[in-house]
Homo-oligomer: A and B are copies of this chain.
Amino acid sequence: MDDHELAEAVERGRAIQDRFEALGYARLVDAVAGYPRGSVVLPDGSVVVGYPSIGRLQSLAAGLRRHYSGPFWAEEKIDGFNVRIFRYADTLYALSRGGFVCPFSTDRLPDLLDPAIFDAEPDIVLCAEIAGPDNPYLEGHPPQVTEDVALFVFDMMYRGTSEFLSQDEKMARIERYGLPSTRIFGRYLPEDVEPLRKLILQLDAERSEGLVFKGEGDAGRAKYVTGWSNVADIELCSDQLLELPPGYFTKRLLRLALFAREHGRLADPELERSLGHAFMSGLTHAVERSQTMGRVGVQFRCRFRERRNAGHFMRHVRATGGHRIRLAENTPRREGEYWVLEFERVLERMTGTLATALAGASQFD
């Protein structure tokens, strides 16, 4: 993107100038010159293009029939957060979906992948999910990451283009550079509903989030999640019942019902108990926290290699989460090679509503 275009976008509020240590950059908060929201313009004018959102199928058989007429790949969907990793002036950075340099992900990149690919292809951008219990954004994590965080590459592109490398090109690089990647289950055709049904039920039993389908050629992408992932999301977030948009819960309930009906899990007592438990465990925990602590909040813990990156992260979180963030005492603190950061996001509506209810106030419907 040339300087003039960028200056005009900044002027119109469609791009915002930002900085992370030595790197000055602009992130697009709206589409500009054909680049989507979340794209980032680097000092040399090159662009790390925003990662597109992927439509979600709610019916496996009908969805595949409608979206694909030719071959597509099925890969595992990982319950983490999306980053785009690039190298600029000899430094690796990780961008969040919105186009911020993420201080946490950037700090941890040396632990998470071998950067050799960037020596061979300096303009490459790796699209990856970072997931695990010690992440600063999400409460959920995939079953295969039991501590800290791990990284799963699932797409590659070059700066300046929104086109991804083909599946073959991507798989060749994953192998050549030993990159950690999402599981690739294989190449399917639209009529392969039965093998894919078996696969999604196996992933459901493994407590995986689900599948992403990637069409060959011009065919697009789509995702399809397990029934279990809906229950897990509700369980993790039921203590945030009043903070999240109501659609958070209603969409997951509908998806779960559609999954149960399509895959023969109707009136399954174990599924019903899990769903009831998902709501009750978070909510009764919230009531308990309200009674014992006087507030309801979500705890986060994550590790940094560099203390200054923990500082960058906390400034970023405070700028976006404001006074709802409470740092733990004595944080960040040294633990082995790392700096451990612990903080809480206070749930203000849950805190207020429960305090009022427990004080004996009456409510008018």
Contact = CB atoms under 8 A, between A and B. Distances in A.
A260 B276 contact: no
A106 B118 CA distance: 80
Contacts of A331: none
Contact of A66 (B249, B257, B291, B361): B361
A258 B58 CA distance: 34
Contacts of A246: 246-247, 249-250
A362 B287 contact: no
Contact of A280 (B53, B62, B272): B272
A62 B283 contact: no
Interface in A326-365: 353-354, 357-365
A284 interface: yes
Given A249-B249, A288-B261, A353-B254, A57 B280 contact: no
A67 B360 contact: yes
A361 B56 CA distance: 8
Interface string A56-69: 11110111111100
A62 B356 CA distance: 10
Contacts of A66: 359-361
Contact of A272 (B56, B256, B273, B288): B273
Interface in A270-286: 271-281, 283-284, 286
A183 interface: no
A251 interface: yes
A267 interface: yes
Interface residues of A, number: 60
Given A277-B272, A359-B66, A257 B287 contact: yes
Interface of A: 53, 55-59, 61-67, 222, 238, 241-242, 246-247, 249-251, 253-254, 256-258, 260-261, 266-267, 269, 271-281, 283-284, 286-288, 291, 353-354, 357-365
A275 B280 contact: yes
A242 B250 CA distance: 7
Nearest to A288: B261
Contact of A362 (B222, B257, B278): B222
Contacts of A63: 360-362
B279 A253 contact: yes
Given A271-B276, A272-B273, A276-B271, A362 B258 contact: no
A258 B280 contact: no
A191 to B, nearest CB: 14
A77 to B, nearest CB: 13
A64 B359 CA distance: 10
Nearest to A55: B362
A56 B363 contact: yes
Given A63-B360, A271-B276, A276-B272, A283 B58 contact: no
Contacts of A291: 261
A365 B278 CA distance: 22
A359 B279 CA distance: 30
Contact of A286 (B62, B65, B257, B272): B257
A280 B254 contact: no
